[in-house]
């Protein structure tokens, strides 16, 4: 077994440990445990990639040949764009890991959970891209979504619970991460929505309300609650990778301009635009529609739908969609 294979095996194990720790209800220090093992998983995976690309010597300090470089340096070496949402996400997770070795409060989970879920999806994406490893064969796909059990952060409660130094640091961290989330896409953070349901058991409630008979504004009672992080867990990039994997496995080779190609972002967006998938709630969920850069997440149905459409006519469908969209844009009927 090569050193790269050993690193990948250990990385996969660290990733599974991170998920299991976070999703296990009996563990109190799940945030600290998750941050440690997910960073370990990333470091081992990135070092295997560095060795593949630059050789064994590249993971060691030049002036300390017996010591390998840190995760921080791996991230800077591979993700050279400082403003990359993925790099920013990893830097914040590393910061959390470093903080947790000293002191951390339970409220940090509410601050970081959107970053943790994005970090998990990013890892799955990069394992496939860098090492052709499908993590859904290592751990069932439904377990890759983190089990979130938390309340929204209340600054008044925080200030009343902790001394000023701890409280202000926590609040400032939350403000910084919220600001970065607004500036970046779902590769940096996946927003967790706080949803409410009605119950007659007062002891189970976290909030209490009453219905005002004379109120002018109407409401709609939702009978069934679904978590979009469970139902729409893919970004565009992971959809494209999944579609290409499915096509590759059954030997289907789509063509564009007379040549075999892999599905790329241009092709994917042509499907999304032509079939108006963003307007279909079963296919697409939009986080924060009012933001400058809304975050779009897609369901497994999008992957299956595009895959099946390509299977019907792999030789011409990509060219056909491109031409039909041109006609639509010009006002002509396809």
3-state secondary structure at position 65: coil
Distance, in Å, from the CA atom of 161 to the CA atom of 316, rounded to the nearest integer, reads 63
| Claim to verify: residue 12 and residue 110 sit in the same structural domain | yes
Residue 130: inside a domain: yes
Distance, in Å, from the CA atom of 260 to the CA atom of 64, rounded to the nearest integer, reads 47
Sign of CA dihedral 27, 195, 93, 283: positive
| Claim to verify: residue 97 and residue 182 sit in the same structural domain | yes
Distance, in Å, from the CA atom of 206 to the CA atom of 274, rounded to the nearest integer, reads 43
Distance, in Å, from the CA atom of 20 to the CA atom of 218, rounded to the nearest integer, reads 42
Q: Report DSSP state, residue 79.
A: -
| Claim to verify: residue 35 and residue 131 sit in the same structural domain | yes
Residue 247: inside a domain: yes
Residue 238: inside a domain: yes
3-state secondary structure at position 105: coil
The pLDDT of residue 163 is: 72
Each residue of 220-272: pLDDT tens digit? 554 554 556 667 888 899 899 999 999 998 899 999 999 999 999 999 999 99
| Claim to verify: residue 271 and residue 165 sit in the same structural domain | no
30: Cβ contacts below 8 Å, ≥ 6 apart: 21, 22, 24, 109
| Claim to verify: residue 160 and residue 283 sit in the same structural domain | no
| Claim to verify: residue 246 and residue 177 sit in the same structural domain | no
Residue 220: inside a domain: no
Distance, in Å, from the CA atom of 7 to the CA atom of 3, rounded to the nearest integer, reads 6
User: What is the phi/psi pair of residue 286, to 5°?
Assistant: -110, 120
Distance, in Å, from the CA atom of 110 to the CA atom of 115, rounded to the nearest integer, reads 10
Helix (H) or strand (E) segment spanning residue 44 = helix 30-54
| Claim to verify: residue 43 and residue 139 sit in the same structural domain | yes
Instruction: For residue 180, give its domain range.
Output: 3-190
Q: Which of 190, 206, 239 is the last residue of a domain?
A: 190
Tokens 């999703």 sit at which residue?
23
Each residue of 118-152: pLDDT tens digit? 999 899 989 999 999 988 888 887 778 787 655 56
Residue 209: inside a domain: no
Residues paired with 296 in a beta bridge: 286
Q: Which of 143, 163, 190 is the last residue of a domain?
A: 190
Domain count, the chain: 2
Each residue of 146-204: pLDDT tens digit? 876 555 666 676 677 667 777 777 787 778 877 777 777 778 877 655 445 566 665 55
What stretches of the chain adopt beta strand conformation (E)? 255-256, 259-260, 284-287, 295-298
Distance, in Å, from the CA atom of 239 to the CA atom of 326, rounded to the nearest integer, reads 24
Nearest one of 324, 282, 321, 279 to 300, comparing CA atoms: 282
| Claim to verify: residue 57 and residue 163 sit in the same structural domain | yes
| Claim to verify: residue 185 and residue 234 sit in the same structural domain | no
| Claim to verify: residue 233 and residue 186 sit in the same structural domain | no
Residue 198: inside a domain: no
Asked if pLDDT for residue 86 goes beyond 90, the answer is yes
| Claim to verify: residue 159 and residue 23 sit in the same structural domain | yes
Residue 203: inside a domain: no
CA dihedral 6, 12, 15, 17 (to 10 degrees): -90
The pLDDT of residue 152 is: 60
Distance, in Å, from the CA atom of 250 to the CA atom of 309, rounded to the nearest integer, reads 14
3-state secondary structure at position 297: strand
Each residue of 15-36: pLDDT tens digit? 999 999 998 878 878 888 899 9
255-256 and 259-260 strand pairing:
antiparallel
| Claim to verify: residue 145 and residue 240 sit in the same structural domain | no
Q: Which of 127, 161, 190 is the last residue of a domain?
A: 190
């Amino acid at each position: 077994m090569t050193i790269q294979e050993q690193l990948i095996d250990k990385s996969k194990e660290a990733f599974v440990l991170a998920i299991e720790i976070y999703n296990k209800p009996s563990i109190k220090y799940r945030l600290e445990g998750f941050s440690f093992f997910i960073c370990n998983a990333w470091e081992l995976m990135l070092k295997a990639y560095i060795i593949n690309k630059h050789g064994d010597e590249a993971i060691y300090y030049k002036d300390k040949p017996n010591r390998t470089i840190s995760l921080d340096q791996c991230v800077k070496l591979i993700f050279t764009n400082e403003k990359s949402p993925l790099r920013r996400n990893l830097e914040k997770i590393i910061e959390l890991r470093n903080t947790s070795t000293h002191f951390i409060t339970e409220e940090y989970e509410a601050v970081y959970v959107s970053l943790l879920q994005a970090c998990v999806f990013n890892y799955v994406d990069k394992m496939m891209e860098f090492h052709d490893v499908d993590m859904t064969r290592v751990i069932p796909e439904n377990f890759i979504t983190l089990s979130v059990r938390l309340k929204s952060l209340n600054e008044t409660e925080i200030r009343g619970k902790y001394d000023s130094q701890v409280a202000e640091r926590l609040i400032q961290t939350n403000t910084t991460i919220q600001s970065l989330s607004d500036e970046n896409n779902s590769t940096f953070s996946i927003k967790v929505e706080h949803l409410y349901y009605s119950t007659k058991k007062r002891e189970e409630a976290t909030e209490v309300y009453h219905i005002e008979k004379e109120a002018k504004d109407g409401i709609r009672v939702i009978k069934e609650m679904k978590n979009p992080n469970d139902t729409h867990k893919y970004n565009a990039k992971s959809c494209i990778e999944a579609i290409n994997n499915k096509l590759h496995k059954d030997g289907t080779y789509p063509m564009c301009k007379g040549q075999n190609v892999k599905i790329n972002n241009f092709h994917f967006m042509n499907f999304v635009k032509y079939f108006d998938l963003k307007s279909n709630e079963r296919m697409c969920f939009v986080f924060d529609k009012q933001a400058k850069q809304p975050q779009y997440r897609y369901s497994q149905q999008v992957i299956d739908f595009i895959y099946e459409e390509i299977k019907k006519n792999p030789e011409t469908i990509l060219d056909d969609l491109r031409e039909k969209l041109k006609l639509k844009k010009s006002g002509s009927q396809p």
